[in-house]
């Protein structure tokens, strides 16, 4: 990297999953808005035509005068070509298709098991991991061979298991997982503080929090704004608004598949005394089926079940949008996304210093009462070629007990995926809090879900049938 005038303009970033019709455009627009960075983005995707479309879209953004960050977008034919010479690697892939995800999310409903997302915990998250882990083994091996010194940023779910796989295959890898769920809770706290304290224009970034937990099951044990402890403020708001919840200024929970009234967060605060710091759809999946008993219960907690039918319809819209962006009929709107990925790249280049939440192994003991082998989410200090995890402290014993089944499952699912061991996978499957059906039915369900996704599984899983 060549530094000039507090800028780096010769970066090479490999984007694995560079044919994305959505997240890639978010990444492109954030890059275009950062004047201190520039260089080459190498797009790699198993769908080469999709990557080529994003090559056109990205280079079109660069030509616009308001794009102060100048990047050249190119498509690589192979993973090795994409990685060679890269300073950073971004991983954002869909493991399989929405047909496989349809099984992940909806097959368990035949056994009374409902999932609001189906990509991290629960039956859907675990079977998705079986597809994802072999892909990440290949990616980690390629990074080891072609870009061993690159910083690797993962956005793919299940986040914890993706990052865990990268480190398992290549222990010296410089990888971390980025997730925006914490930002949403900071935003919620900012809006509640405005209402409760009569303040205005509180920036999400000014909400100072201590983050600790697992990805999508994160918690705050401290939160403040300019010296004001926000825990009493949050508590008072919940005491007076628990039933209706909180409807954000720009997000009506009834009209969005991703929105919520934050009543799950509020309930968890009343039960455990800490602020749960992820979307209600994710938080609910880590718990026993208190909030996901059935669709009626979900509605009573004022969040939604994201159906795969909705995802498929949304994909059709994004495919059409891709065509319009390629033809020039439509342009990517250049406004900040609120994500911090580009800011973290800037910090790792040494151009700034940032404290942000990050998913990395617990090897520094940032959460002392979780295993060091666990991938945890805490704050970390990003600076030149360095990520220094912040000591987060212990979980309360009650919250630790909620997390332990998932920590154990991360170990077992990784082992099962690497060895194609059905019995280990079944053990993890039965341990998940959402799997409340009988042991026999859990076996039937897991077999069916594996059969439904065999196309994307290694040879060792092909022998699994519907009958024991």
In contact, 61 and 30? CB cutoff 8 Å: no
Pairing verdict, β 354-361 and 375-383: antiparallel
In the structure encoding, which two tokens stand for residue 135, read together? Answer: 């892909």
**Which tokens is 461 given?**
């899983």
Of 141, 43, 157, 152, nearest in space to 95 by CA: 157
Rounded Cα gap, residues 465 and 5, in angstroms: 62
Which of 106, 168, 180, 262 does the annotation list as catalytic? 180
Q: What is the distance between the alpha carbons of residues 119 and 138, in angstroms, rounded to a whole number?
A: 20
Taking alpha carbons only, the member of 118, 167, 178 closest to residue 411 is 167
Cβ neighbours of 352 (radius 10 Å):
15
Q: Which helix (H) or strand (E) holds 176?
A: strand 174-177
Give the H/E segment covering residue 194: helix 181-197
Helix H, strand E, coil C: the string for 84-123 is CCCCEEEECCCCCCHHHHHHHHHHHHHHCCCCCCCCCCHH
Is 157 annotated in a binding site? The answer is yes
Degrees, nearest 5: CA angle 434-403-213: 125
Residue 79: both structure tokens together:
């993973």
Q: Is 359 annotated as a binding residue?
A: no
Torsion of CA 159, 100, 417, 21, to 10 degrees: -40
179 is known to lie in a ligand binding site: yes
Helix (H), strand (E) at residue 364: none
Catalytic, 180? Answer yes
138: Cβ–Cβ under 8 A, 6 or more apart, which residues?
A: 79
**Exposed, middle or buried: residue 227 (CB in 10 Å: 0-12, 13-18, 19+)?**
exposed
b/e burial code for range 323-332 (CB count within 10 A of at least 16 → b): eebbeeeeeb
The binding site consists of: 157, 179, 216
The binding site for substrate consists of: 157
The binding site for Mn(2+) consists of: 179, 216
- Give the residue numbers marked as catalytic: 180
């Amino acid at each position: 990297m060549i530094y000039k005038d507090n800028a780096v303009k010769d970066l090479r970033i490999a984007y694995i999953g560079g044919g994305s019709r959505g997240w890639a455009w978010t990444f492109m627009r954030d890059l275009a808005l950062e004047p201190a960075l520039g260089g080459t983005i190498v797009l790699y995707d198993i769908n080469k035509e999709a990557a080529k479309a994003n090559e056109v879209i990205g280079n079109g953004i660069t030509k616009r005068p308001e794009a102060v960050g100048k990047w050249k977008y190119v498509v690589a034919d192979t993973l090795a070509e994409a990685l060679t010479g890269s300073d950073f690697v971004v991983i954002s892939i869909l493991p399989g298709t929405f047909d496989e995800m349809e099984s992940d999310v909806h097959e368990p409903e035949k056994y009374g098991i409902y999932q609001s997302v189906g990509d991290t915990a629960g039956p859907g998250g675990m079977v998705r991991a079986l597809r994802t882990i072999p892909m990440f083994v290949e990616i980690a091996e390629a990074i080891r061979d072609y870009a061993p010194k690159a910083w690797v940023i993962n956005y793919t779910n299940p986040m914890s298991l993706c990052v865990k796989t990268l480190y398992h295959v290549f222990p010296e890898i410089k990888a971390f997982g980025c997730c925006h769920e914490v930002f949403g809770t900071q935003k919620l706290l900012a809006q509640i503080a405005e209402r409760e304290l009569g303040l205005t224009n509180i920036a999400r970034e000014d909400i100072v929090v201590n983050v600790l937990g697992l990805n999508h099951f994160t918690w705050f044990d401290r939160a403040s704004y300019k010296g004001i402890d926000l825990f009493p403020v949050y508590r008072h708001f919940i005491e007076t608004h628990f039933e209706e919840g909180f409807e954000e200024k720009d997000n009506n929970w009834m009209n969005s598949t991703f929105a919520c009234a934050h009543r799950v967060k509020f309930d968890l605060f009343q039960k455990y005394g800490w602020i749960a710091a992820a979307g209600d759809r994710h938080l609910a999946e880590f718990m026993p089926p208190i909030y996901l008993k059935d669709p009626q219960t979900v509605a009573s907690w004022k969040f939604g079940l994201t159906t795969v039918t909705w995802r498929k319809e949304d994909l059709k819209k994004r495919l059409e949008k891709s065509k319009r962006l390629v033809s020039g009929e439509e342009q990517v709107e250049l406004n900040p996304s609120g994500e911090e990925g580009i800011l973290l790249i800037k910090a790792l280049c040494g151009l700034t210093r940032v404290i942000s939440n990050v998913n990395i192994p617990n090897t520094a003991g940032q959460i002392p009462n979780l295993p060091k082998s666990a991938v945890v989410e805490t704050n970390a200090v990003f600076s030149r070629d360095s990520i220094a995890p912040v000591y987060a402290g212990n979980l309360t014993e009650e919250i630790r007990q909620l997390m332990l089944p998932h920590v154990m499952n991360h170990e077992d699912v990784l082992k099962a995926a690497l060895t194609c061991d059905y019995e280990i996978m079944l053990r993890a499957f039965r341990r998940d809090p959402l799997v409340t059906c009988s042991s026999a039915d859990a076996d039937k369900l897991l077999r069916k879900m594996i059969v439904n996704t065999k196309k994307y599984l290694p040879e060792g899983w092909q022998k699994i049938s519907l009958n024991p």
